[in-house]
């Protein structure tokens, strides 16, 4: 896409503040995720947004510096690492198609003989976690170090209460992993893979940290701040394509239709959207709709994309 004429930095900050105020006037809809008990303890009124641009600047409003559980947003980091490790071989183990089924569907996985539809549904992300667990002797620490490097912040940690909740209430994810193991699509031992997967989902980050850490996807795989090549241009293209078609669960088509940006959501209430050649938007609000996406985070990103003309289409 051609880079449009975006708001100056001061105007963007004011724009975010105004959008946040508008969002706070909307009726409270949806509910905080409660199937992971630790997530249900988060205040439903939290609301934040941050925009990181390729020139290294970050504009933000609301609870943009408050860490929250990134949950499925972690799948994008893990996918980037797995693509570096396995290259095209990864796509023999996981496809790149929208699923059309719930993100934790077991039925579809059985039909398709243990090959997940894409790497951002749970089964696909568990395969990706298996890649990391199989290649690194300290995969959990390696994953955390990767995120810290991208965010340029060493103060990023695992929430132990969320991690414990993930382990205690992860029976369906365990079922997915054992089913794929039976088809030969999981190489490590299932408990080790699940430990990696739950660890990833339990990372806490703020909107500002998330926006900074995804900048390489807006810049053809290169971190614009450090000038480090995080992934190849082709891999950045592929990740953005998967986010466009599958990143917002069963609302991915609607998000592409109304917003027009590659994006990923998590049941912690966060949504991160990539604006190629410009930057990254990260928004957070814990109340989720029936698809598992944050109502107000979607609202903030959609309104901002409309005002600044950010759609890639």
The residue assigned the tokens 């990181």 is 52
What is each CA distance from 55 to 147, 171, 223, 263, in whole angstroms? Answer: 20, 44, 11, 21
Among 100-109, 127-136, 179-188, 281-290, whose mean pLDDT is lowest? 100-109
- Contact indicator for 33, 39 with CB cutoff of 8 Å: yes
Q: Which fold has domain 9-71+205-308?
A: Beta-lactamase (3.40.710)
Q: What is the pLDDT of residue 248?
A: 96
Q: Where in the chain is the domain with CATH 3.40.710.10?
A: 9-71+205-308, 74-201
- Residue 3: what pLDDT? 44
Left, alpha or beta for 49 (phi > 0: left; psi -120 to 50: alpha)? Answer: beta
Tell me what pLDDT residue 10 has: 52
Contacts of 84 (CB under 8 A, 6+ apart): 231, 235
Average pLDDT for 44-60 = 96
Tracing tokens 């009726």 back to the chain, one arrives at 27
Q: Specify the CATH number of the domain 74-201.
A: 3.40.710.10
Residue 197 confidence (pLDDT): 98
Lookup result for tokens 């930095």: 9
Q: What is the pTM of this model?
A: 0.94
Percent of the chain with pLDDT over 90: 88
pLDDT, tens digit, 9 for 90 and up, residues 122-150 = 999 999 999 999 999 999 999 999 999 99
Question: b or e along 3-36 (b: 16 or more beta carbons within 10 Å of the residue's beta carbon)?
Answer: eeebbeeeebbebbeebbeebeeeeeebebbeeb
- Rounded mean pLDDT of the chain? 94
* Mean per-residue pLDDT, 157-177: 94
Local structure of 275: helix, strand or coil: strand
What is the Cα–Cα distance from 285 to 243, expressed in whole angstroms?
Answer: 20
To 10 degrees, what angle do helices 122-135 and 171-182 make? 70
> Which residues are annotated as catalytic?
72, 75, 197, 249, 267
If we measure between CA atoms, which residue out of 88, 94, 62 comes closest to residue 75? 94
pLDDT recorded at residue 4: 44
């Amino acid at each position: 896409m051609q880079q449009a004429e975006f708001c100056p930095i001061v105007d963007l900050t004011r724009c975010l503040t105004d959008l946040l105020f508008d969002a706070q006037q909307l009726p409270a809809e949806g509910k905080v995720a409660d199937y992971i008990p630790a997530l249900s303890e988060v205040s439903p009124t939290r609301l934040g947004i941050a925009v990181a641009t390729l020139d290294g600047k970050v504009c933000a409003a609301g609870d943009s510096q408050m860490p929250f559980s990134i949950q499925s947003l972690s799948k994008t980091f893990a996918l980037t690492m797995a693509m570096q490790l396995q290259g095209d071989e990864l796509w023999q183990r996981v496809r790149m198609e929208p699923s059309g089924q719930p993100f934790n569907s077991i039925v579809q996985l059985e039909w398709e003989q243990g090959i997940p539809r894409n790497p951002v549904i749970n089964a696909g992300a568990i395969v990706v976690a298996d890649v990391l667990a199989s290649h690194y002797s300290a995969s959990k620490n390696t994953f955390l170090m990767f995120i810290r490097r991208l965010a340029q912040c060493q103060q990023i940690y695992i929430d132990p209460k969320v991690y414990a909740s993930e382990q205690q209430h992860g029976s369906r994810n365990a079922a997915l992993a054992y089913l794929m193991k039976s088809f030969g699509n999981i190489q490590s031992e299932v408990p080790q893979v699940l430990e990696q997967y739950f660890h990833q989902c339990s990372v806490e980050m703020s909107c500002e940290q998330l926006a900074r850490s995804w900048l390489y996807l807006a810049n053809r795989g290169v971190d614009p701040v450090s000038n480090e090549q995080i992934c190849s241009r082709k891999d950045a293209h592929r990740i953005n394509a998967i986010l466009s078609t599958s990143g917002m669960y069963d609302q991915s088509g609607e998000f592409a239709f109304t917003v027009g940006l590659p994006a990923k959501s998590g049941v912690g209430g966060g949504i991160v959207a990539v604006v190629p050649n410009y930057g990254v938007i990260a928004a957070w609000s814990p109340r989720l709709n029936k698809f598992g996406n944050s109502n107000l985070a979607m609202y903030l990103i959609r309104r901002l994309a409309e005002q600044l003309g950010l759609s890639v289409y």
